Structure 1
Amino acid sequence: MKIGGGVVNGASRVTGGLSTLLYRHGRGISSLSAFSSSSSSPEHISFIKNVAATQPPQHLSHLLRLLKARGQSIVSPGAKQGLIPLAIPLAKSSSGALTALLRWPTALPGMEMPVVEIRKHGVWLLAKNVDQFIHRILVEEDANNCLDGIDKIFRAVGEAGEKLYKKGDFIKWKNSDIDVYLLRQVGLFPDVIERKMMHHFAKGDHVAALVTGEFYTKKEHFPGFARPFVFNAELLLKVGRNLEAKDAARGALKLPWWTLGCSYREVAQIAQWENEPIDYIKQKVSEKGKQEDLNRGKGPDQIALDEAAFLLDLASVECTWDESVEQIAECYKEAGLHDVAAFVLYRD
């Protein structure tokens, strides 16, 4: 599973005085070799192959056409200024929301790039992969039954869309609750689960809300993303379970801070931490901290990967992505991930 600057393979960051700040990062696999570009390839596909140095999602072109059909403006994949450097921009809505792919620096075989929305302090997970996101959009458009635009939407994805969803299937389904349909027939989505939790809470069924929250935080559902722990902590506060809320918030801060779905300080307040995690990370990326890790037997490649992840965390606090990008790229070079370093540095 991918977490922080890399992929977790059972290892964690070494703890210092803050023993509860157990961090992520197992040793990642090498990035994929760049593919030769083709004049017939759309810009984003060529970018992912040649700059991001990984395999583009099979139906990425269909997703781009779908987003355009919904009125969004396609954005250059290299327009990364001011964004978390792991993002590949796709399209921007009229409200300014930016949809992107997330390029994890290291990935387990078969792991797909998630679709995210770029936010001030990082990213919000929209879907685990492109196909799931397309499927969801088609279901929602069908459910809304916007006659003026629905045929245009379905035409945009063509046969690829028909393989994922047949128009009218939701209407034929026995349950008219679209959130239930999405969760059972399409996949797990953070915003949908959060709505279910708040629906239970609004009805006064706190037990159901808390059970759903526990389900939300299962590590296999959204590996690498801290948002489930944050929302669960907020819900626990609402029902007066403050100690459990504190623990949930601290659990969130053991994951990448740019996946919190909000600012670091909001979560740190629930966790009842001030600058302790920030001070801990700063110590870990110091020369003294890195030497201590070497003395404990951690390999130089792993130390470099951990440092990159720590730097991403620190950058998320004040949104200093552009100021940190060169140092982050240097860490990936030290870890032997030269393709990833070049991708992180790339700007139009």
Structure 2
Amino acid sequence: MHVATCSGARPIRHIRARVRPFSSSGHISFVKDVASAQPPEHLHHLLKMLQSRGETIISPGARQGLIPLAIPLSENLSGAVTALLRWPTAPPGMEMPVVEVRKHGVWLLAKNVDQYIHRLLVEEDAKNSKENGSLLFDASSEAGNKLYRRGDFAESQIANIDVYLLKKVGLFPDVLERKVMRHFENRDHVSALITGEFYIKKDHFPGFARPYVFNAKILLKVGRVLEAKDAARVALKSPWWTLGCPYQEVAGIAKWEDEQIEYIKEKVTEEGRQEDLKKGKEPAQVALDEAAFLLDLASIEGTWDDSLERVADCYKEAGLNEIARFVSYRD
């Protein structure tokens, strides 16, 4: 069944007590040895860039209170945490996305580290801030030189930075959502709906429910209530911690009360597990489903640590011992 809060939502909380002096080697070895993943080539440069922006580098094992699939990188002054997301069963070749960690889950910032570095450089360049911009460009070093040439945005003569990002850098949820809202401001509902449909193409943001949530909201905005309900229900088939807003907000559009929560609570009981096994479902799949259900339930209140041990056990039962170790790891 399973393989982030609204953009104005407050960040989760401060975790400065867990800060360690900057060194990318800790994060690189953590990704490789604990998360059992290939470290992004330019992770070191991204960490230096985040630090140059005034963010505090966080130990990758400082994960108390965070969704257990996140590898924290940095925290900004408002308390927002930037992290890598380690999908438990990612398709081959899928890179780790860069996300902002929030109380109810994650918000996708970029599909991979290179894309995020590229975006940060474009945004800094567009500000025309020579002093601060130089710090960021210096921190990006050879990764920056490879991904973006300073001045390209101005030379492109593309007036709107969001248009530049979509054309030259990649697709980003917040950029696409702003594009839709601009169409509404211009009273161009047709273009708004077309962009909303583009947003939900399955190969654009695989695994993330947020595009369907946003599409449901714009359908509601134009009075297409039944289609909005269907879109919300599609969203709720993806991990609830990728909705980009609290579960209840989407359940309301889907016209679901608490029955889906009760259904999932039943699925994670011993009786629910035995019922699935009797139906012929493979034990490993039952365990994976239970882990996904537990993360969904935790996302409703943001109480990730409460179910941590059982989630790790589920991954062990599914034969994913490395993921189990990663999920339960804490400094």
TM-score (norm 2): 0.92
SS in 2 for 1:118: strand
| Percent of residue pairs bearing the same amino acid type | 69
One-letter amino acid matched to 1:100:
A
Q: How many residues are aligned here?
A: 312
- 1:235 aligns to what? 218
Cα offset, 1:41, TM superposition: 6.5
Judge conservation of contact 2:60–2:72 (CA < 8 Å) in 1.
yes
How do residues 1-348 of structure 1 correspond to structure 2 at under 5 angstroms? 4=2, 6=3, 42-348=25-331
Measure the CA separation in 2 of the matches of 1:51 and 1:113: 14
Measure the CA separation in 1 of the matches of 2:240 and 2:36: 25
Measure the CA separation in 2 of the matches of 1:318 and 1:93: 23
Q: Deviations over 1:14-63 (max 9, x none)?
A: xxxxxxxxxxxxxxxxxxxxxxxxxx961100111111111111100000
Q: Deviations over 1:309-339 (max 9, x none)?
A: 0110000011110101001000000001111
SS in 2 for 1:148: helix
Measure the CA separation in 2 of the matches of 1:75 and 1:46: 14
Q: Deviations over 1:87-122 (max 9, x none)?
A: 000001111111000011122221100000001100
CA RMSD of aligned residues (A): 1.2
Measure the CA separation in 2 of the matches of 1:292 and 1:214: 38
SS in 1 for 2:77: coil
Unaligned runs of 5+ in 1: 7-39
SS in 1 for 2:109: strand
Measure the CA separation in 2 of the matches of 1:318 and 1:174: 46
- 1:27 aligns to what? none
Measure the CA separation in 1 of the matches of 2:158 and 2:330: 47
SS in 2 for 1:42: helix
SS in 2 for 1:89: strand
Cα offset, 1:295, TM superposition: 2.1
Measure the CA separation in 1 of the matches of 2:90 and 2:103: 25
Measure the CA separation in 2 of the matches of 1:277 and 1:51: 34
TM-score (norm 1): 0.88
Measure the CA separation in 2 of the matches of 1:314 and 1:263: 11
Measure the CA separation in 2 of the matches of 1:135 and 1:41: 19
SS in 2 for 1:101: strand
SS in 2 for 1:90: strand
Larger mean CA deviation between 79-88 and 41-50 belongs to 41-50
